[in-house]
């Protein structure tokens, strides 16, 4: 299908000659993905209708306690500071955005009355604004009404640099106006193809103005409600033990009739992924377990227990290795990995390229991840049109040795390469779980054959992914040479995902390490490509810009992609839990129910 035919189909949808669903089916038939098709329509101002749940409850409650395991337990419950998935998922039990992304990449209204589009006048034809109509009658958990003033407050709160929020990138470059008590308008400084960022999905959850307003800016971390949420969600806060337990009870005034199904929810933290999988799949003690970072062979054996099943949702999550561009061992003004330093060896492109061909991605897929992760040369993999076809990967120890020889890195008596007094000795960190330690072992062995010494470091997951700015071992501080983890793609658009390589997103002491650029790599070329994509309304041209960005990251070995991971959860055979690869695991927890 060529571009002219594609534009003709989009025009047919706009004119009512072709249904939205029929368009998606046509795109899937020619090899595209449903999220890609949905985004093509969204870029052109055509909203997808909400996908209706099969769940048709006749009353709220009656389902007992929903018991879920997040083996990395949440450490705070403010979505604006939730740098880790565990904190985002915990916050989402209580807080909601205007709209969410379902598994097909379609927008569904939550606190919005409808999804904006060209048809209903919500999306401006010039791409300079989007108008959101808010659902009426919604109340915060303390009984106060939810209004447009809360949206305006969240914009100001998140965009304040002094607050150092995780969500600042979604709000700092827009203006938000109150039209009336139940309508807001988001204004863009230039034509913006992806308008569904602020107030949407994982980064769009809303906190109440009347609770958090006294804690604006530099005081934002002192708010008691950071640990005791007051939201609009299906469950009311009852108890929180950071890293251990989140407990909520049914919201009797929830804004959707006859929901939620469960009387209470208990989110248990701690332990490890294998024990969490066993508690759902084999013993049936729990209804759901998050993030099954477990070897696929083990998951298959546990499924034989007959109590549950593995559920895989495909988004854009990527398990990858980051290379530190700064010096993690030199402290400047109370900060390691400072932009005022350079890494003594990882700034050498020969070293970076050598490391890239020492990572046996295929072995990691074949022997560790199996059906839950696919070896890939790309950081950006999904939707399909964003994935580069030019990149490739290989394991080639001879090539690594030649690259290092040619660059003057000579092996010493101890077998470790050295140049100008600098040895190729690295600390390589990740969180504690079996697949990651096995991956570390595979890479360490290959590096030894090339004269690179690797010291592996494994950090307790609750510490590594903590949102505590005083913790020196978090992945955002990156106080080692190399590190590995999975970064999630929060929406079927590449914009927010790829801003983690822009120069203005560098994680620093000044922004409390909330910036998303953790490698500290900076490129004027990359920044220009990203800015161009922000204002490109043509979906085909915009996709090409993101392909180039990915290729620039890969060519410069800013990161080394390992496997493109599906979201893997363990689900009880009796639990119906709608999940999405494009949003929080708990994005639609109001619709979860247990079958009789």
**137-151 pLDDT, tens per residue?**
999 999 999 999 999
- Is omega for the bond preceding 4 within 30 degrees of 0, making it cis? no
- Name all contacts of 53-58 with Cβ < 8 Å and 24+ positions apart: 53/578, 53/588, 53/591, 54/576, 55/261, 55/576, 55/591, 55/593, 57/258, 57/259, 57/261, 57/593, 58/258
| In contact, 336 and 354? CB cutoff 8 Å | no
211 and 107 in one domain? yes
What CATH number should be reported for the domain holding residue 398?
Answer: 3.10.105.10
d(CA 498, CA 575): 35
pLDDT at 26 over 70: no
Q: Look at residues 82, 114, 108 and name the one whose alpha carbon lies nearest to residue 95.
A: 82
Average of per-residue pLDDT across 237-257: 97
Q: What is the CA radius of gyration of the chain?
A: 24
% pLDDT > 70, the chain: 91
pLDDT at 490 over 60: yes
336 and 216 in one domain? no
Q: In this structure, is residue 387 part of a structural domain? A: yes
* Token pair listed for 369: 């991840």
Q: In this structure, is residue 210 part of a structural domain? A: yes
pLDDT at 6 over 70: no
Poorest-confidence range of 101-105, 122-126, 542-546, 560-564?
Answer: 101-105
52 Cβ neighbours under 8 A, 6+ residues apart: none
pLDDT at 37 over 70: no
162 and 18 in one domain? no
486 Cβ neighbours under 8 A, 6+ residues apart: 317, 318, 319, 320, 565
pLDDT at res. 53: 47
| In contact, 272 and 432? CB cutoff 8 Å | yes
pLDDT band at 54 (very low <50, low <70, confident <90, very high): low
pLDDT at res. 48: 43
Average of per-residue pLDDT across 212-217: 97
Average of per-residue pLDDT across 207-232: 97
Q: Looking at per-residue confidence, does 297 or 16 come out higher? A: 297
Q: In this structure, is residue 232 part of a structural domain? A: no
Average of per-residue pLDDT across 462-469: 86
pLDDT at 473 over 60: yes
pLDDT at 42 over 70: no
pLDDT at res. 267: 98
364 Cβ neighbours under 8 A, 6+ residues apart: 373, 375, 439, 442, 562, 563
Alpha-helix residue ranges (DSSP H) falling in 480-578: 495-498, 524-534, 539-555
Half-sphere exposure of 571 (CA within 13 A, CB side): 19
Q: Look at residues 182, 110, 113, 186 and name the one whose alpha carbon lies nearest to residue 148.
A: 182
pLDDT at res. 49: 41
Handedness of CA 174, 175, 179, 180 (dihedral sign): positive
Average of per-residue pLDDT across 211-229: 96
Q: In this structure, is residue 237 part of a structural domain? A: no
pLDDT at res. 170: 93
Residue where a domain terminates, one of 225, 250, 282:
225
d(CA 289, CA 280): 7
pLDDT at res. 7: 64
152 and 31 in one domain? no
pLDDT at res. 51: 38
465 and 536 in one domain? yes
pLDDT at res. 45: 53
Average of per-residue pLDDT across 291-311: 94
* Residue located via tokens 């046509």: 26
Give the pairing type, strands 482-487 and 593-594.
unpaired
pLDDT at res. 105: 82
37 and 95 in one domain? no
% pLDDT > 90, the chain: 80
DSSP code string of 146-177: P-HHHHHHHHHHHH-GGG--TTHHHHTTEEEE
488 and 345 in one domain? yes
Average of per-residue pLDDT across 107-127: 93
pLDDT at res. 218: 95
pLDDT at 558 over 80: yes
Q: In this structure, is residue 248 part of a structural domain? A: no
**303-343 pLDDT, tens per residue?**
999 999 999 998 999 999 999 999 999 999 999 999 999 99
pLDDT at 292 over 50: yes
Poorest-confidence range of 32-41, 82-91, 348-357, 420-429?
Answer: 32-41
* Token pair listed for 345: 């060896």
pLDDT at 580 over 80: yes
Q: Look at residues 138, 140, 172 and name the one whose alpha carbon lies nearest to residue 155.
A: 172
| In contact, 291 and 88? CB cutoff 8 Å | no
Please provide the distance, in angstroms rounded to a whole number, between the alpha carbons at the two ends of the chain.
47
**378-416 pLDDT, tens per residue?**
999 998 889 999 999 999 999 999 999 999 999 999 999
Query: To 10 degrees, what angle do helices 296-303 and 273-281 make?
Result: 20
82 and 31 in one domain? no
pLDDT at res. 152: 98
190 and 333 in one domain? no
pLDDT at 23 over 60: yes
Q: Look at residues 323, 387, 384 and name the one whose alpha carbon lies nearest to residue 352.
A: 323
Range(s) of the domain holding residue 498 = 318-565
Q: In this structure, is residue 204 part of a structural domain? A: yes
Number of domain units in the chain: 3
Residue where a domain terminates, one of 225, 246, 280:
225
Tell me which DSSP letter residue 201 carries: G
| In contact, 275 and 552? CB cutoff 8 Å | no
94 and 16 in one domain? no
pLDDT at res. 462: 85
Dihedral of CA atoms 274, 276, 282, 287 in degrees, nearest 10, equals -160
Average of per-residue pLDDT across 43-58: 55
Reading phi first (left if > 0) and then psi (alpha if -120 to 50, else beta), residue 584 is in beta
526 and 425 in one domain? yes
Q: In this structure, is residue 466 part of a structural domain? A: yes
Q: In this structure, is residue 427 part of a structural domain? A: yes
What CATH number should be reported for the domain holding residue 159?
Answer: 3.90.76.10
pLDDT at res. 596: 74
557 and 469 in one domain? yes
**159-204 pLDDT, tens per residue?**
999 999 999 999 999 999 999 999 999 999 999 988 999 999 999 9
3 state SS of 41: helix
pLDDT at 468 over 90: no
d(CA 401, CA 530): 35
Q: What is the largest CA-CA distance in the chain?
A: 76
What secondary structure, in 3-state letters, does 212-244 show? HHHHCHHHHHHCHHHCCCCCCCCEEEEEEECCC
């Amino acid at each position: 299908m060529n571009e002219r035919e594609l534009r003709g189909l989009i025009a047919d949808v706009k004119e009512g000659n072709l249904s939205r669903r029929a368009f998606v089916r046509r795109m899937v038939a020619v090899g595209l993905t449903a999220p890609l098709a949905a985004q093509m329509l969204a870029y052109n101002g055509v909203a997808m209708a909400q996908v209706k749940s099969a769940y048709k409850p006749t009353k709220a409650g009656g389902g007992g306690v929903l018991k879920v395991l997040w083996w990395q337990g949440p450490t705070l419950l403010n979505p604006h500071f939730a740098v880790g998935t565990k904190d985002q998922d915990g916050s989402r039990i209580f807080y909601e955005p205007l709209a969410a992304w379902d598994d097909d990449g379609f927008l569904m209204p939550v606190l919005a009355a409808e999804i904006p589009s060209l048809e209903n006048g919500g999306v401006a034809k010039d791409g300079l604004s989007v108008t959101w109509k808010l659902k009426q009658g919604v109340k915060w958990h303390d009984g106060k009404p939810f209004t447009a003033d809360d949206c305006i407050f969240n914009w100001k709160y998140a965009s304040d640099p002094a607050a150092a929020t995780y969500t600042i990138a979604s709000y700092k470059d827009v203006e938000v106006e109150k039209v009336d008590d139940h309508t807001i308008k988001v204004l863009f400084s230039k034509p913006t193809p992806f308008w569904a960022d602020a107030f949407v999905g994982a980064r769009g959850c809303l906190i109440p103005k009347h609770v958090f307003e006294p804690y604006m800016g530099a005081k934002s971390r002192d708010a008691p409600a950071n640990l005791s949420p007051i939201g609009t969600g299906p469950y009311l806060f009852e108890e929180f033990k950071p890293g251990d337990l989140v407990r909520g009870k049914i919201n009797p005034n929830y804004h959707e009739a006859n929901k939620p199904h469960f009387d209470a929810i208990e989110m248990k933290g701690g332990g490890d992924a294998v024990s969490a999988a066993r508690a759902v799949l084999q013993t049936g003690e729990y209804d759901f377990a998050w993030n099954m970072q477990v070897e696929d062979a083990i998951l298959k054996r546990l499924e034989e227990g007959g109590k549950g099943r593995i559920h895989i949702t495909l988004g854009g999550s990527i398990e990858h290795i980051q290379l530190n561009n700064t010096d993690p061992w030199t402290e400047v003004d109370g900060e390691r990995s400072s932009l005022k330093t350079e890494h003594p060896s990882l700034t050498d492109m020969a070293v970076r390229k050598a490391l890239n061909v020492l990572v046996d991605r295929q072995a990691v897929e074949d022997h560790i991840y199996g059906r839950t992760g696919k070896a890939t040369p790309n950081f950006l993999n999904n939707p399909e049109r964003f994935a580069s076809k030019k990149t490739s990967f290989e394991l080639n120890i001879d090539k690594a040795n030649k690259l290092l020889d040619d660059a003057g890195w000579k092996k010493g008596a101890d077998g470790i390469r050295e140049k100008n007094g600098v040895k190729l000795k690295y600390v390589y960190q990740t969180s504690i779980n079996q697949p990651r330690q096995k991956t570390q072992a595979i890479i360490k062995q290959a590096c030894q054959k090339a004269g690179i010494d690797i010291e592996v470091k494994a950090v307790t997951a609750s510490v590594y992914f903590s949102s505590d700015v005083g913790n020196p071992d978090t992945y955002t501080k990156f106080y080692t040479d190399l590190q590995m983890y999975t970064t999630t793609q929060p929406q079927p658009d590449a914009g927010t995902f790829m801003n983690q390589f822009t120069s203005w997103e560098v994680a620093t002491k000044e922004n409390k390490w909330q910036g998303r650029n953790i490698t500290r790599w900076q490129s004027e070329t990359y920044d220009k490509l990203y800015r161009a994509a922000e204002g490109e309304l043509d979906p085909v041209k915009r996709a090409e810009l993101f392909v180039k960005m990915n290729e620039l990251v890969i060519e410069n070995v800013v990161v080394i992609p390992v496997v493109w991971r599906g979201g893997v959860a363990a689900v009880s055979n009796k639990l119906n839990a709608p999940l999405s690869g494009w949003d929080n695991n708990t994005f639609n927890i109001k619709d979860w129910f247990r079958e009789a």
